Amino acid sequence: MKSLERVLGPERYLRIRNTSVLMVGAGGIGCELLKNLILCGFGTIHAVDLDTITLSNLNRQFLFRQKDIDQSKSLTVVKAVQNFNYNDCKLEGHHGNIMDTEKFPIEWWDQFSYIFNALDNLEARRYVNKMALFLRKPLMESGTTGFDGQIQPIFPYVTECFECQPKVTPKTYPVCTIRSTPSQPIHCITWAKEFLYHQLFDELEDKTQDQRRQLESETLDRQEIDNLLRESNELAELRRMVLEPGSQFAQELIHKIFQVDIERLVNIESLWRTRKVPEPLDLLELQHELDALLQEPRSQTILVKDTSTWTLLENLYVLIRALESLQKRISSGEESCVPFDKDDEDSLNFVVAAANLRSVVFHIDPKTKFDIKQIAGNIIPAIATTNAIISGFLVLASLPFYDQEPRSRGDFGPVPQTSSTVFTSIRPNKYVTAAALSQPSPLCPACSLSARGILHVSQKDAPTLGQLVEIIKKKYGYEDIALILGKAKLIYDVDFDDNVDRSVLEVAGFVSGELLQVQDDNDELENLEFYISLGDKNELPELVLRQKVKEKEKVKENEENGTGELNNGALEPVEIIDDEVEEPPTKRQKILDIID
């Protein structure tokens, strides 16, 4: 008997040998995870990723080598593991977007007994979560950021799904805050990178009209708009100087950006009623010291002091050096533009120094190069060890599911009760903590609001929209319904019957892979979400609908909680399994912002 068989137990071993699992994402966690899946002997493993390999992946995505750069991650990863594929697992790599419904229709998803997420973005996580809900398959969700990591087994409709805990969406800043009235370092960094650097060195499209329109929708002040547009035009002039070697480009730019523009802003009094007035740089006053710094060869060392905060003069020095270097690269014809890249020293130095100088002008604390690199480069620290530990837990946590004979769809037996979500961190006594899985949130926008199933529609013998409405009403017991296709296209309700006589196939957007939501007009039954599958039969899924929780009660409950959020009210208390932990893990909602 093989040792693996002894470890897993003969029955479980056999089930694992004969099953097929899906791994979504072949990056930091994916590499570690695939290794573990293979060494555990999973019979068939499919790996999906849309990405190609880059240099910065190689430090932790250990299945990739220098020679693999620019190759597909998913295809490379399945080849790379072959030399330790001792259990003869069948491997299939798919280079593509997991959300592509033509490449990965729901029938394709149905071949897997378990889905493992090794993803780095919210959109794909939400999509896979939804597929797991449709198919009622177990999903293992994961994420890491630095030393923090989390795994969450999801048993659809039995335990919390990915969307039961509300996720924070990334913040965007109004143009006016960025351009006229910054108040935090991030505003200055965004300005330096997205606006100033972009305007000077990156590829440009003509967006003057868009810019005016966007500004007008935001600001109160015509004077401010005109001023901002004027700034942009002048910047375009300066951009031309980049191409003229030997011009006073650096000096002119600094003079304009940190003195003239700021002086003009100061004059718009309406902006400074409630804010501290910015202070333009006085370059004449600084010139003497700056020249000395520029002539001193040892000043070079400033550039590598990336964890100390540079002085005003040091920032000016770095900015001038970066400008000279960038100008040289572009005016020599080597490059026509230099898009921002955190690993391009010139572009990074420019952004760091420009952001800090702007901070000084607006009385904001400057930051170190190291800090700004993280922010401007959207770097979420990735640590190979965390990924490895988390991937270990991913596979271990999936094994109990194979302890039992396969049951009917959506029935996971006692497994959800004994499964836990696991967190790792470097806080003492909290290296590894576990928590029992919570019940689905009754306010979850994904798993509480509706039942789900696949709607099969025959391409030869499709019903009209009106017929479909009647069939749905009769089958599930609705009195009246509204039908919403995709994101927000209403195709039918009691007040809108324009389309009822058309065949559903003629309703725009009624295609395979699209979602069709059924909403009860009488508010009695829960909503229903169909995944449309066009084929050779007409068939509705067998589902028993639950009574709806009344919207009004939910709102009331939320008002009482003081959150006002519709989807925020019902957080279940966390039950801690580990005795040594006194506080609940604080990383409950973590998975969202986590990379590979």
Partner 1 sequence: MSLCKTRLQEERKQWRKDHPFGFYAKPNKAPDGSLDLTQWTAGIPGRPGTLWADASFPITITFPEEYPSKPPKVKFPSGFYHPNVYPSGTVCLSILNEEQDWRPAITLKQIVMGVQELLDSPNPDSPAQEPAWKAYSKDRVTYEKKVREQAKRYATG
List residues with catalytic annotation.
Answer: 176
Nearest distance, CB of residue 87 and partner 1, angstroms: 40
**In residues, how long is the chain?**
596
Does residue 217 touch partner 1 according to CB under 8 A? yes
CB of 175 to partner 1, least distance (A): 13
Assess contact for 524 and 531: CB atoms under 8 A: no
Q: What does the alpha-carbon distance between residue 102 and residue 18 come to, in Å, rounded to a whole number?
A: 27
Rounded CA separation 529/451 (Å): 6
State the minimum distance, in angstroms, from the CB of residue 217 to partner 1. 5
Selected range binding partner 1 among 43-51, 192-200, 419-427, 491-499, rule: CB under 8 A: 491-499
Query: ∠ at Cα 272 (268, 274), nearest 5°?
Result: 155
Contacts of 401 (CB under 8 A, 6+ apart): 113, 114, 138, 412, 415
**# of chain residues touching partner 1 (CB under 8 A):** 42
Identity at 513, one-letter amino acid code? G
- One character per residue 543-562, x = contact with partner 1 (rule: CB under 8 A): --------x---x--xx---
CB of 153 to partner 1, least distance (A): 23
**Among 445, 463, 466, 535, interactor with partner 1 by CB under 8 A:** 445
> Using H for helix, E for strand and C for coil, what is the string for 228-274?
HHHHHHHHHHHHHHCCCCCCCHHHHHHHHHHHHHHHHHHHCHHHHCC
Q: Which is nearer to partner 1, 19 or 527 (CB)?
A: 527
Q: Which amino acid is at 76?
A: T
Nearer to partner 1, 327 or 499 (CB): 499
CB of 420 to partner 1, least distance (A): 28
Query: Which lies closer to partner 1 via its Cβ, residue 139 or residue 446?
Result: 446
- Tell me the DSSP string of 172-185: ---HHHHHT---SH
- Of 338, 366, 371, 372, the closest CA to residue 352 belongs to 372
Q: For the segment 276-315, give every residue that binds partner 1 (CB under 8 A).
A: none
Site string for partner 1, 449-478 (x = CB under 8 A): xx----------------------------
CA-based R_g, the chain, Å: 29
Q: What is the C-alpha to C-alpha distance for residues 81 and 86, in angstroms, rounded to an integer?
A: 10
- The least CB distance from residue 591 to partner 1, in Å, is 17
Which lies closer to partner 1 via its Cβ, residue 184 or residue 331?
184
- Among 7, 220, 277, 577, contact with partner 1 (rule: CB under 8 A): 220
- Pick the closer one to partner 1 by CB: 26 or 443: 443
Residue 234 binds partner 1, judged by CB under 8 A: no
Q: Tokens 């099969």 belong to which residue?
A: 456
Determine which residue in the list 222, 230, 409, 474 makes contact with partner 1, applying CB under 8 A: 222
CA dist., res. 533 & res. 531, Å (int): 6
**C-alpha span between 30 and 32 (Å, rounded):** 5
Residue 228 sits in the site that holds partner 1 (CB under 8 A): no
- Tell me, rounded to whole angstroms, the distance of Cα 135 from its chain centroid: 24
| Shortest distance in whole angstroms from residue 78 CB to partner 1 | 33
State yes or no: residue 487 binds partner 1 (CB under 8 A).
Answer: yes
67 binds partner 1 (CB under 8 A): no
DSSP characters for 385-438? Answer: HHHHHHHHHHHHHHGGGGGS---STT--TTHHHH-EEEEE-SSTT-SEEEEEPP
Question: What's the number of CA atoms in the CB half-sphere (13 Å) around residue 60?
Answer: 21
Of the residues 90, 213, 427, 474, which one makes contact with partner 1 according to CB under 8 A: 213
One-letter amino acid identity for 263? E
Beta bridge pairs of residue 94: 48
The 567-586 site mask, x for binding partner 1 (CB under 8 A), equals: x-------------------
Q: Does 564 bind partner 1 (CB under 8 A)?
A: yes
Q: Hey, what are 53's tokens?
A: 């390999």
Q: Which amino acid makes up residue 214? A: Q
**Residues linked to residue 517 through DSSP beta bridges, in sequence order:** 484, 529
* Part of the chain binding partner 1 (CB under 8 A), chosen from 3-11, 327-335, 336-344, 488-496: 488-496
What CA–CA distance (Å, rounded) separates 398 from 78?
A: 21
Residue 375: CB minimum distance to partner 1, A: 22
Residue 524: CB minimum distance to partner 1, A: 13
For 237, counting Cβ atoms within 10 Å of its Cβ (0-12 exposed, 13-18 middle, 19+ buried), the class is: exposed
Q: How far is CA 100 from CA 109, 121, 125, 391, 512, in A?
A: 12, 16, 14, 26, 11
Q: How far apart are CA 99 and CA 211, in angstroms?
A: 32
Question: Which residues on adjacent β-strands are paired with residue 482?
Answer: 519
The piece of 334-342, 402-410, 454-462, 504-512 that touches partner 1 (CB under 8 A) is 504-512
Is residue 498 involved in binding partner 1 (CB under 8 A)?
A: yes
**Angle of CA points 250, 253, 259, to nearest 5°:** 125
Give the shortest CB-23-to-partner 1 separation in angstroms.
Answer: 26
Residue 320 or 507 with smaller CB distance to partner 1: 507
Residues 519-538 contacting partner 1, CB under 8 A: 519, 521, 527, 529
- Binder among 509, 537, 550, 577 for partner 1 (CB under 8 A): 509
Q: How many other C-beta atoms are found inside a 10 Å radius of the C-beta of residue 283?
A: 14
Span interacting with partner 1, options 143-151, 392-400, 482-490, 576-584, rule CB under 8 A: 482-490
Q: Which of 38, 139, 352, 507 binds partner 1 (CB under 8 A)?
A: 507
CB nearer to partner 1: pick between 493 and 593:
493
CB of 526 within 8 A of CB of 446?
no
Per-residue x/- marks for partner 1, 109-128, CB under 8 A? -----------------x--
Q: With respect to partner 1, which residue has the nearer C-beta, 161 or 415?
A: 161
Minimal CA–CA distance to 23: which of 47, 49, 50? 47
Q: Does 489 bind partner 1 (CB under 8 A)?
A: yes
Which residues, numbered 358-397, are part of the site for partner 1 (CB under 8 A)?
Answer: none
Q: Shortest distance, CB of residue 569 to partner 1, whole angstroms? A: 11
Please say which residue, 334 or 495, places its beta carbon nearer to partner 1.
495
Judged by the rule CB under 8 A, the positions of this chain that interact with partner 1 are 126, 169, 213, 216-220, 222, 445-446, 449-450, 482, 484-485, 487-491, 493, 495-496, 498-499, 507-509, 517, 519, 521, 527, 529, 551, 555, 558-559, 564-567
